[in-house]
Structure 1
Amino acid sequence: MADLYAGGELLAEVVRNAVVESRHHGSVVVLDAGGEVAAWAGDVLGPVFPRSSAKPMQAVGMLRAGLAVRQAELALVAASHRGQAVHREGVLRLLADSDIPVSALQCPAEYPLSEDARDEVVRAGHGREPLFMNCSGKHAGMLRTAKANGWPLETYRDLDHPLQRRLTATIEELTGEPVGATGVDGCGAPLHALSLRGLAGAFLRLVGAPEGSHERAVADAMRAHPQMVSGEDPAEDDTRLMRAIPGLLLKGGAEGIAAAALPGVGAVALKVDDGGLRARLPVLAAAFGRLGVTLPGRVLVFGGGREVGVVRSVW
């Protein structure tokens, strides 16, 4: 059972016979439509690394710096894709449209996260490649933005690069707070620590922005093309929930991070401290329940190939 209470603990799974399997600890904040804190648990003001939940904000920064792409490709810039054919082809288009070689990508060489896509590229004779890495859309967008401004491509990941300075400023503006710390994300790009309160506020600003704004453009692209944000696998929460809930903007991140917002309703940001993912969806559903919105938050536990339990939030 995922139990998040005022002391900040998030207890994870309890199977049907009530035997506790494991425990997770974490924090969550719920904002109402006006941006005020409606509910919270744990530390929602201290800095955490938002991982890939920062990508929509980075995409806004790229648009502000002159990135011009089609809507589906903008969704891919904000994505943690699964390396499926539609994602690989989209990244190649992003690069080819600006005559940028694939070799310019500086994200790590990886296999696709999708098992089917991995098998497909292996059968085709490929090994690990930067193109397949789940952040290659973001990196392609960074390269496109740098080239549009005449900035160096070779150093686009450097913190003092003009592109990264623009992205940092955008993140601080959207969250309404200075970054708490700066590190390096798994893809090699800079990663800024933020509060969950600031992260939720940024997502609320994206969905509440007027049409024609860069913030709204990113939100609309992700919601119109959720399959580009994550993937078509049935277990992909970002894709599935954005399709199920009209207007929902959702972006998960590694290590138990998720941020989401609904226009006119509110926003949620959460962090599972140990990085476990099973508790993330039930707590997200419980948080939106505080706002009167029902999300499908059922996560099953399997043993020996059969259902033996369920992860539930009792917060």
Structure 2
Amino acid sequence: MTPSAAASAGLAQRAAPELPNHVPLVAASRGEVLESIHYGSAVLLDSHGEIITALGDQQTRFYPRSALKPLFAVAILRSGLELNGEQIALAAASHSGSERHQQVAESTLAAAGLRVADLGNSTDLPYGVAERASWLANGGTATQLAQNCSGKHAALVAMCKHNGWATENYLDPDHPLAAALRDIVEELTEERITTISTDGCGTQVYPLTLTALARGFAKLAQAAPETAEGRVAASMRAYPELVAGEGRDVTDLMRAVPGAVAKDGFEGIQAVGLPDGSSLAVKISDGSDRARMPITIKLLASHLGDQTPGALEDLATSPAMGGGQPVGELAAL
């Protein structure tokens, strides 16, 4: 058997994965034709954690990716590590890599007597479009500090130093940090973690149902201010520009909706908690970043009704351009 034939045989024998029951959520139109359709799943919970709206698959577990960061930040504060509001917000962030973002991450390290060299995250250019352009124009290269997860990693390694744990191997799955993060995610989401993988930056990531993810954000958003959860929520609300960055939709959403706690994640994840205890979570099937916000805003508007801020309109749709003119739009179905 030739190598190519053997490879084909191996693929044929491999069991087909069980596909999630996603449904159409967002479509891009051009003229009178639907040009592209994004499938996915979403859930909206009321203040008691009961489902108001369920779209698509509510049983399959998806990786929340960076939407886990605010939950991790709770574990960091519960460990006893002292952080100020900016440092907490950046620990929960996928930041754009601006000078301010990098300075806050460095301040977290410096307060713990650590250096940039103690970070264990991957290197990257700034995530924000404008921040990346400026960085490259000034001769910048991919670094750990510029990478969008550096605030989280700075806080995690500082947490290890505070607890007397080894800092050089803090990303190892058998490190005490791993158990601390897993335990807090299970507590806040009320869902048992059954498998573990590794996120792009090197930390562990756990699959959750959308209901569990939404439940975790509800607990953040309605927490008493003196609790670790309440401090994370207050810091994100006070510094939304640190949670993402200027011109980023998550920052704009938190500015528009009083009391909202919002976080996106790679591969089409969005979670939002509101101070009344209602919450939502979204997963876009193809991982498209552009489809997160239209369905998120539609669910928020259905829940807020007449109280929906007008500023959300700009996040609900985006134009399809033709010859420099809008000829269609991206919008929730």
TM-score over 0.5 for the pair: yes
Identify which range, 73-82 or 62-71, moves more after superposition.
62-71
Q: What do residues 239-276 of structure 1 show as CA deviations (whole Å, max 9, x unaligned)?
A: 11111111111101111100001111610001001101
Q: Are residue 247 (structure 1) and residue 259 (structure 2) matched?
A: yes
CA contact (8 A) 1:247 1:262 kept: yes
2:263 and 2:115 mapped to 1: Cα distance? 28
Higher mean alpha-carbon deviation, 137-146 vs 62-71, is at 62-71
1:290/1:8 CA distance change after superposition, 3 Å: farther
Question: Which residue of 1 is the match for residue 270 of structure 2?
Answer: 258
**Structure 1 outlier segments of 4+, above 4 Å:** none
| Helix, strand or coil at the partner of 1:255 | coil
Aligned to 2:13: none
Distance in 1 between residues matched to 2:154 and 2:324, nearest whole Å? 40
Q: Report the equivalent of 1:39.
A: 53
Q: Tell me which amino acid in the other structure corresponds to 2:233.
A: A
Aligned to 1:220: 234
> 1:111–1:118: 8 Å Cα contact kept in structure 2?
yes
Deviation at 1:35, TM superposition (A): 1.0
Given that residues 126 and 132 in structure 2 are in contact (C-alpha distance below 8 angstroms), is that contact kept between their aligned partners in structure 1? yes
For residues 60 and 139 of structure 2, the distance between their equivalents in structure 1, rounded to whole angstroms, comes to 46
Deviation at 1:97, TM superposition (A): 1.3
SS at match of 1:113: coil
In the other structure, the counterpart of 1:3 is none
Check conservation: 1:265, 1:291, Cα contact below 8 A: no
Aligned residue among 296, 301, 306 for 2:320: 301
Offset of residue 299 of structure 1 = 2.2
Structure 1 unaligned spans of 5+: 1-6
Output the CA distance in 2 between the equivalents of 1:262 and 1:70.
23
Corresponding residue number in structure 1 for 2:8: none
Contact in 1 for aligned 2:273/2:279 (Cα 8 Å): yes
Q: 8 Å contact 1:47–1:180 — kept in the other structure?
A: no
* Residue matched to 2:292: 280
Q: How much does 1:121 deviate?
A: 2.8
Are 1:260 and 1:269, in contact at CA under 8 Å, matched by a contact in 2?
yes
Which of residues 145, 151, 167 is equivalent to 2:181? 167
- Over 3 Å counting, the alpha-carbon distance change for 1:105 and 1:203 in structure 2 is same
For the 8 Å contact 1:281–1:299, the answer to whether it is kept is: no
SS in structure 2 of the partner of residue 312 of structure 1: strand
Q: What 5-or-longer segments of structure 2 have no aligned partner?
A: 1-20
Change (3 A) 1:11 1:288: closer
Q: Is 1:90 matched up with 2:104?
A: yes
User: 1:122 deviation in Å?
Assistant: 2.9
Please name the residue that 2:115 is paired with: 101
- Three-state SS of the structure 2 residue aligned to 1:131 is coil
Once the two structures are TM-superposed, the CA of residue 25 in structure 1 deviates from its matched residue by 1.4
Aligned residue pair count: 306
- Secondary structure of the 1:166 match is helix
Q: Distance in 1 between matches of 2:50 and 2:291?
A: 25
Residue 308 of structure 2 is aligned to residue 289 of structure 1: no
When residues 159 and 125 of structure 1 are mapped into structure 2, their CA distance, relative to the original with a 3 A threshold, is same
Distance, in Å, in 1 between the alignment partners of 2:322 and 2:94 is 29
**Please, which moves more after superposition, 42-51 or 53-62?**
42-51
Amino acid at match of 2:39: H
Q: Distance in 1 between matches of 2:330 and 2:139?
A: 39
What is the aligned partner in structure 2 of residue 199 from structure 1? 213
Tell me, in whole angstroms, the C-alpha distance in 2 between the residues paired with 1:107 and 1:25: 31
Change (3 A) 1:184 1:16: same
Percent sequence identity is 39
**Are residues 67 and 301 of structure 1, via their aligned partners in 2, closer, same or farther at CA, if it must alter by over 3 Å?**
farther
Contact 1:26-1:42 at 8 Å conserved across structures: yes
Query: RMSD between aligned alpha carbons?
Result: 1.5
Query: Is 1:118 the counterpart of 2:137 in the alignment?
Result: no
C-alpha offsets along residues 264-314 of structure 1, whole Å, 9 cap, x if unaligned? 161000100110122211110111133124343122222343322212223
In our comparison, the structure showing a higher alpha carbon Rg is 2
Which amino acid is the alignment partner of residue 259 of structure 2?
G
Distance 1:301 1:15 in 2: 7
Residue of structure 2 equivalent to 1:4? none
Shift of 1:64: 1.0
Q: Does 1:148 align with 2:167?
A: no
Alignment of 1:5-24 (within 5 A): 8-24=22-38
Q: Distance in 2 between matches of 1:14 and 1:78?
A: 31
User: 2 CA distance for matches of 1:303 and 1:261?
Assistant: 37
- Counterpart for residue 76 of structure 1: 90
